[in-house]
Amino acid sequence: MFVSPASSIPEGAALHRIRALSRTMQRLTTFGGAVALISAAWIWFGSSAAELERVVRGITHASTAYPVQVFPMHRAAGFLATGIGLTLLICVLHQARRMFVAFGRGEVLTIDTAVRLRRMALALTAMGPAIPLIRLLTGLALVGVPGKPYWIVAITLSDYFVSLLGGLLLAIAWAMLEAVRVAEENKGFV
């Protein structure tokens, strides 16, 4: 059932389930964003040198043959590099939360929810190429010795699948947007 931006679905068991799930998801997306921000700050500025070295080696896939720099300027550079992915994640969570707020109001299939889904999809699609870029920038900033930076360009299957999922959601959002527009046009004929 498609609705206009101003209307909502009549009360029923399905809408009650959507509203209950939406309240839970609003809390989870807010919690997820807060945990992501706090964790990133703690990893880069609150962890010990040994802990940070393990994190950097995990991000960059660097062997122990390459030293990891953990001085304050390197920590700040690492935080900025991983901030690319963090920004995309916060964008996805923010759009998801706003979409769940609309669902909680009974606005399920609207132009607004389709636009939010499209924004989420674009951010997810961008996450695929952003992750190898984050690996590269983190390696350049923190791994190796001065004058001999550590270069790594690693694209994994998970990077590909994140972009593929974003593309799928983008197609669904465009189809949803078109369906809402067609329903609006047909509403005038009835």
Radius of gyration of the chain (CA): 21
- Predicted pLDDT at 1: 43
CB 135 within 8 A of CB 152: yes
Which own/partner pairs from 62-68 qualify as long-range (CB within 8 Å, at least 24 positions apart)? 62/139, 62/143, 62/150, 62/152, 66/143, 66/144, 66/150, 67/143, 67/144, 67/145, 68/142, 68/143
- Predicted pLDDT at 64: 84
Which backbone phi and psi does 25 adopt, to 5 degrees? Answer: -70, -30
- Predicted pLDDT at 10: 55
CB 126 within 8 A of CB 88: yes
- pLDDT per residue as tens, the chain (190 positions): 444 444 454 567 888 898 999 999 999 999 999 999 999 999 999 999 999 999 999 999 888 888 999 999 999 999 999 999 999 999 999 999 999 999 999 888 899 999 999 999 999 999 999 999 999 999 999 998 878 878 888 888 999 999 999 999 999 999 999 998 888 888 777 5
Residue with tokens 């901030």: 83
What ranges do the domains of the chain cover? 13-184
